[in-house]
């Protein structure tokens, strides 16, 4: 007892008396901190500092305030946006024939291009004062999603001008003159933009672009002016083949100090008309057979005036920061919209196909093996919609949450890849044969594109989510890094000393908090609601504590090494991501009036998120290099083992039942999915067959009963049975007509396209076309 008392008093003196603490604790810790955490490069620092910390901060710091989550406004379309959805978007959808666009024309028809320009589809983010539509992020996302369920090519074409590129950059950083000149022309479609960052030598490492601009004197419009001589070679640029204005990223140098006293100014962005002398729009790429425009651009010794820098000469060298600050739009709106569209289309069509397609005398959707995959499609689709709405909602709150949007980009595109594979597995041969009836093939082909763009997925998971999250969302680490980088060492030590005490308190709180919550299984955590979802809030709070604790210890033990240990840090990123996914689902459920019929989807999503959290922690503990610390952390977070399980079979079956019957639950789950009118359209046909079969069930029951009673033979084609049933007065004339129609629709819906001999060969690309 006496020893404990002495220990407490000693610690109190050491920590309580500033001078003693500073000399005995802060100085050595500060020195160690500087040693283990190498200074950030400029590009890393700019990426770290860009954007906002939002709900990710709560989740990372171990104490999520659930009331705060519920108080974020629900993202919804306003009247103008809804009218645009109901009119322009619906008209566009009817104009699109994706099979022709992708397989035959390899471009959008001219009237579609005209319609998109005329109706302001390229101007959704441009303010009304410049002739744009000034739509919210949720409207932008909903419009792109809905179009993507009909045509990925059209969706990507619409999405790009409304994402990171000239429009977005001009609005944030453009000079008044630049805005007045470019925005009206972009809004009315006179100008079509593209943005070129990527080149053969720099993809993921975009900060390492070799394209250069050198400040020099040259001639522009007959006068000698100070400008930039540019050299670039870019590839993969969406819309480049049809662009009239090129947003270009390059590294700017001023060797003769013509605009200041710095030689290496850094990444800079300029806007250049593609008609400008020397600008070359090169060949077109052919990304996964998709028909949206994508290609190359290059230029050699192209001279432009300084005024073409976005933001003017003052923004020379500030391009990297501009890009990372604007990345959220692409990551948080466009890619999530495409991923959600995949879910809505796959869920609606696969639910229907599982009912329409029969094998072994049963709809295949009744087999449990198929149900496992179908439930994943349904569960993921619910989670995707929840994440789409919550993430766009954050952007509509004028936030630019860089970690959250990286989570959305990575996980939503990965979920869409998984569920599209499930949809293919269930459709089997019906999804493989390409033709006008195949509503899944182009979506499947497009998935690797979503995975690759806006930060390829491996990089996004391994480098961005935790790498950025750990620094941005932690309450003290970024400030500690800044203290370490302070050129005034004494001042830096003072800042660090202030932070250290708080950091130690935070770590102690998390250690005891995690253990307490582990021992009590989170039973005493508060939940903002009662009922079936309350338990999830308690578990998520508990896991959030576990994350805060584990993240702190891994940064303490591994320091800068953690950046290289991507497999390890990515697992903590997975925990953060699953906490975000789960929060989005809970909020979505509340915001939509706690619909009882949504509960299977909510249970599925939450149980899966918790299971993934457990799996990520397990991998993290198993691979943490300091085995003692790993053991302690495991005991603190999971004293009785990791008990989270994958969603149970009963939940999966309930989801499948909801997806396999026409009605409000299915309609809400897949509300973005385009269903063509009439049976000539691929989705319209499947939907009609499904509804017809469902509605024919009462009549079919009469036939089954007659078969059981021996009045009608079994095992013969349905058409024949219907005829005999009519003759035997088992069914009426009207009922027989209903069944015959249903059967014709069913057969047409399970049929695939085929082509006459020589037809495909005559359409094949010649090698001359491909060069
Ligand atoms: C269809 C399409 C459209 C595009 N449109 C545009 C556009 O309009 N404008 C534009 O500028 N660019 C565009 N891009 C480029 C796109 O952003 C890049 O393809 C992307 O940044 C990846 O670069 P890369 O393909 O060269 O892959 P690489 O950089 O070569 O990466 C290869 C793999 O390594 C991984 N990797 C790399 N570094 C790390 C790391 N540190 N840790 C873990 N993994 C890592 C990546 O995740 C990836 O899996 C487009 C690309 C495509 C395919």
Q: What is the DSSP letter of 326?
A: H
Burial of 674 (0-12, 13-18, 19+ CB in 10 A): buried
Nearest-atom number in ligand 1 for the CA of 292 is: 1
pLDDT at residue 770 in the model: 47
Contact assessment for residue 617 and residue 492, using Cβ atoms and an 8 Å cutoff? no
Count Cβ atoms within 10 A of the Cβ of residue 592 and give its class: 0-12 exposed, 13-18 middle, 19 or more buried: middle
Ligand 1 mean position, distance from CA 205 (Å): 8
DSSP-assigned beta bridge partners for residue 267: 251
- Which residue minimizes the CA distance to atom 23 of ligand 1? 203
Query: Nearest residue CA, atom 44 of ligand 1?
Result: 459
Rounded to whole angstroms, how far apart are CA atoms 112 and 675? 19
Question: What secondary structure letter does DSSP report for 674?
Answer: -
Token duo for residue 45 = 């620092």
Is residue 412 a contact partner of residue 388, using CB atoms and an 8 Å limit?
A: yes
Would the CB of 632 count as within 6 Å of ligand 1? no
120 CA to centre of ligand 1 in angstroms: 29
Q: Ligand 1 atom closest to Cα of 456?
A: 47
Query: Smallest Cα–Cα separation from 193: which of 218, 219, 163?
Result: 163
Q: What ligand 1 atom has the least distance to the C-alpha of 285?
A: 1
The residue whose CB lies within 8 Å of the most ligand 1 atoms, and thus the one to mutate among 157, 267, 453, 465, is 453
Q: Phi, psi (5° rounding) for residue 330? A: -65, -45
Residues taking part in catalysis: 454
How far is Cα 129 from Cα 127, in angstroms, rounded to an integer?
A: 5
**How crowded is residue 648: how many other Cβ atoms within 10 Å of its Cβ?**
11
User: Measured from the CA of 454, which atom of ligand 1 is nearest?
Assistant: 17
Pocket of ligand 1 contains residue 570 by CB under 6 Å:
no
Rg (alpha carbons) of the chain, rounded to whole number: 30
Task: State the 10-residue block means of pLDDT for the chain, 771 residues long.
Answer: 62 66 79 70 70 94 97 97 98 97 96 98 97 97 98 97 91 96 96 97 94 97 96 98 97 97 96 98 96 98 98 95 82 96 98 97 96 98 98 95 95 98 98 97 98 95 89 86 83 86 90 95 96 98 97 89 90 97 98 97 98 98 97 97 96 98 97 91 96 97 95 92 96 97 97 94 62 41
Residues 189, 113: Cα–Cα separation, whole Å = 9
Q: Count of alpha carbons within 13 Å of 703, Cβ hemisphere only?
A: 25
Q: Is 383 in the pocket of ligand 1 (CB under 6 A)?
A: no
Contacts of 718 (CB under 8 A, 6+ apart): 739, 743
Does residue 270 sit in helix, strand or coil? Answer: strand
How far is the C-alpha of 730 from the C-alpha of 711, rounded, in Å?
9
Which pair of tokens denotes residue 559? 């320091």
Largest alpha-carbon pair distance within the chain?
103
Specify the ligand 1 atom closest to the Cα of 290. 1
Q: Which two tokens stand for residue 115?
A: 């319609």
Q: Is 519 in the pocket of ligand 1 (CB under 6 A)?
A: no
Show the 3-state SS of 609-667: HHHHHHHHHHHHHHHCCCHHHHHHHHHHHCCCCCCCCCCCHHHHHHHHHHHCCCCHHHH
Q: How far is CA 402 from CA 76, 141, 399, in A?
A: 22, 17, 9
Find, among 332, 312, 333, the residue nearest to 169 by Cα.
312
State which of 206, 456, 457, 570 you would mutate to test the pocket of ligand 1, scoring each by most atoms of that ligand within 8 A of its C-beta: 456
Ligand 1 center to residue 449 CA distance, Å?
10
Number of H helices, E strands in the chain: 37, 9
Residue tagged 């950091």 (tokens) = 503
Report which DSSP code applies to 230.
E
Binding site membership of 452 for ligand 1 (Cβ less than 6 Å): yes
**Which DSSP string do the residues of 447-458 spell out, in sequence order?**
HHHHHHSSS-HH
- Give Cβ neighbours of residue 752 (< 8 Å, ≥ 6 apart): 429, 430, 433, 435, 437, 438
Task: Please provide the distance, in angstroms rounded to a whole number, between the alpha carbons at the two ends of the chain.
Answer: 84
Query: Which residue's CA is the nearest one to ligand 1's atom 25?
Result: 203
Backbone angles phi, psi at 508, to 5 degrees: -65, -45
Q: Is the CB of 402 under 6 A from ligand 1?
A: no
Does 237 sit in the ligand 1 pocket, CB within 6 Å?
A: yes
Q: Is 567 in the pocket of ligand 1 (CB under 6 A)?
A: no
Between CA 424 and CA 434 the distance in angstroms is 12
What is residue 274's three-state secondary structure? coil
What is the pairing mode between strands 280-284 and 223-238?
A: unpaired
Instruction: Choose which residue among 167, 247, 452 to substitute to test ligand 1 binding: the one with the highest number of ligand atoms within 8 A of its C-beta.
Output: 452
Q: How far is the CA of 468 from the centre of ligand 1 (A)?
A: 18
> What pLDDT, on a 0 to 100 scale, did the predictor assign at position 665?
97
**How far, in Å, is the centroid of ligand 1 from the Cα of 251?**
19
Cα 767 to Cα 11, 538, 771: the distances in Å are 78, 61, 6
State the DSSP code for 303: E
- Residue 410 Cα to ligand 1 midpoint, Å, equals 13
Helices (H), 188-334: 319-329
For the Cβ of 456 lying below 6 angstroms from any atom of ligand 1, the answer is yes
CB neighbour list of residue 553: distance below 8 Å, 6 or more residues apart: 629, 633
Q: Is 18 in the pocket of ligand 1 (CB under 6 A)?
A: no
Dihedrals φ, ψ of 220, to 5°? -140, 125
Of ligand 1's atoms, which has the minimum distance to the CA of residue 457? 47
**Ligand 1 pocket member 188 (CB < 6 A):** no
C-alpha angle with apex 53: 49 to 57, nearest 5 degrees? Answer: 125
User: Atom 4 in ligand 1: which residue has the minimum CA distance?
Assistant: 236
Q: Which residues pair with 271 in a beta bridge?
A: 247
**Closest to 553 measured CA to CA, from 640, 458, 464, 635:** 635
Q: Considering only CA atoms, which residue is closest to atom 14 of ligand 1?
A: 236
Phi, psi values for residue 98, rounded to 5° = -65, -30
Residue 492's pLDDT is: 86
The CB of 498 under 6 Å from ligand 1? The reply is: no
Alpha carbon of 769 to ligand 1 centroid (Å): 26
Question: In whole angstroms, how far apart are CA 214 and each of 271, 303, 433?
Answer: 16, 9, 53
For 110-204, where are the alpha helices, taking DSSP H only? 110-118, 137-148, 152-159, 166-173, 176-187
b/e burial code for range 551-573 (CB count within 10 A of at least 16 → b): bbbbbbbbbebbbebbebbbbbb
Strand 264-273 to strand 362-363: parallel, antiparallel, or no bridges (unpaired)? unpaired
For residue 292 the two structure tokens come to 């949206």
Per-residue confidence (pLDDT) for residue 771, from 0 to 100 = 41
Beta bridge partners of 303: 229
Asked whether 195 lines ligand 1 (CB < 6 A), one says yes
Distance 207 CA to ligand 1 centre (A): 12
Burial per residue of 107-145, b for 16 or more beta-carbon CB atoms within 10 angstroms, e otherwise: bbeeebeebbbebbbbbbbbeeebbbbbbbbbbbbbbbb
């Amino acid at each position: 007892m006496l020893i404990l008392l002495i220990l407490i008093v000693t610690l109190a003196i050491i920590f309580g008396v500033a001078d003693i603490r500073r000399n005995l604790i802060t100085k050595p810790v500060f020195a160690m901190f500087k040693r283990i955490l190498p200074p950030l490069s400029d590009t890393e620092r700019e990426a770290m500092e860009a954007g906002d910390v939002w709900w990710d901060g709560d989740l990372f710091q171990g104490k999520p305030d659930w009331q705060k989550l519920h108080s974020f406004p629900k993202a919804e379309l306003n009247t103008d946006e809804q009218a645009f959805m109901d009119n322009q978007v619906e008209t566009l959808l009817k104009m699109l024939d994706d099979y022709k666009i992708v397989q035959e024309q390899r471009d959008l028809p001219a009237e579609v291009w005209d319609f998109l320009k005329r109706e302001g589809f390229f101007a959704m983010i441009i303010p009304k004062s410049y002739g744009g539509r000034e739509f919210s992020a949720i409207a932008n996302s909903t419009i792109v999603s809905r179009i993507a369920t009909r045509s990925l090519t059209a969706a990507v074409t619409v999405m790009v001008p409304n994402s990171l590129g000239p429009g977005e950059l001009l609005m944030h950083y453009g000079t008044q003159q630049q805005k007045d000149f470019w925005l009206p022309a972009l809004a009315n479609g006179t100008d079509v933009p593209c943005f070129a960052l990527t080149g053969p030598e720099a993809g993921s490492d975009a900060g390492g672009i070799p394209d250069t601009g050198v400040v020099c004197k040259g001639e522009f419009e007959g006068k000698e002016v100070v400008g930039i001589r540019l050299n670039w070679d870019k590839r993969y640029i969406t819309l480049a083949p049809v662009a009239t204005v090129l947003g270009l990223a390059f590294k700017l140098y001023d060797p003769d100090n013509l605009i200041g006293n710095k030689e290496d100014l850094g990444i800079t962005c300029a806007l250049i008309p593609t008609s400008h002398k020397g600008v070359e729009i090169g060949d077109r790429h052919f990304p996964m057979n998709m028909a949206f425009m994508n290609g190359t651009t290059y230029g050699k010794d192209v001279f432009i005036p300084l005024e073409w820098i976005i933001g003017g000469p003052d923004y020379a060298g500030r391009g990297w920061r501009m890009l990372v600050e604007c990345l959220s739009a692409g990551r948080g709106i466009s890619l999530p919209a495409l991923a959600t569209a995949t879910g809505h289309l796959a869920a609606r069509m696969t639910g229907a196909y599982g009912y329409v397609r029969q094998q072994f005398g049963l709809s295949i959707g009744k087999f449990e093996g198929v149900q496992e995959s179908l439930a994943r499609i349904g569960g993921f689709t619910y989670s995707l919609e929840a994440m789409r709405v919550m993430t766009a909602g954050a952007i509509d709150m004028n936030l630019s949450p860089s970690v959250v949007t990286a989570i959305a980009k990575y996980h939503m595109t990965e979920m869409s890849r998984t569920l599209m594979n499930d949809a293919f597995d269930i459709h089997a041969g019906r999804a493989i044969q390409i033709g006008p009836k195949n509503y899944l093939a182009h979506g499947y082909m497009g998935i690797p594109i979503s995975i690759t763009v806006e930060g390829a997925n491996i990089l996004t998971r391994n480098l961005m989510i935790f790498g950025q999250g750990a620094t941005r969302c932690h309450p003290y680490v970024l400030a500690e890094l800044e203290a370490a980088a302070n050129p005034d060492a004494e001042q830096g030590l003072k800042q660090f000393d202030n932070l250290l005490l708080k950091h130690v308190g935070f770590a102690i709180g998390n250690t005891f908090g995690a253990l307490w919550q582990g021992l009590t299984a989170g039973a005493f955590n508060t939940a903002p609601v009662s009922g079936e979802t309350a338990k999830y809030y308690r578990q998520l709070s508990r896991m959030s504590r576990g994350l805060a604790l584990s993240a702190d210890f891994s940064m303490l033990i591994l320091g800068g090494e953690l950046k290289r240990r991507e497999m390890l840090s990515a697992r903590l990123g997975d925990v953060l991501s699953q906490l975000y996914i789960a929060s989005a689902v809970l909020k979505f459920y509340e915001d939509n009036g706690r619909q009882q019929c949504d509960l299977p989807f909510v249970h599925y999503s939450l149980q899966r998120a918790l299971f993934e959290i457990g799996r990520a922690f397990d991998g993290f503990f198993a691979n943490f290099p300091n085995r003692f610390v790993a053991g302690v952390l495991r005991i603190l977070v999971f004293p009785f083992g990791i008990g989270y399980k994958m969603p149970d079979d009963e939940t999966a079956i309930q989801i499948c039942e909801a997806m396999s019957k026409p009605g409000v639950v299915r309609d809400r789950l897949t509300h973005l999915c385009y269903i063509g009118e009439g049976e000539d359209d691929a989705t319209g046909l499947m939907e009609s067959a499904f509804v017809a079969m469902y509605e024919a069930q009462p009549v079919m029951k009469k036939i089954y009963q007659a078969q059981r009673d021996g009045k009608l033979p079994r095992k013969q084609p349905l058409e024949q049975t219907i005829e005999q049933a009519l003759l035997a007065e088992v069914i009426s004339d009207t009922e027989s007509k209903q069944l015959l129609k249903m059967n014709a629709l069913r057969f047409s819906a399970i049929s695939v396209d085929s082509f006459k001999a020589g037809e495909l060969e005559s359409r094949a690309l010649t090698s001359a076309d491909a060069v």
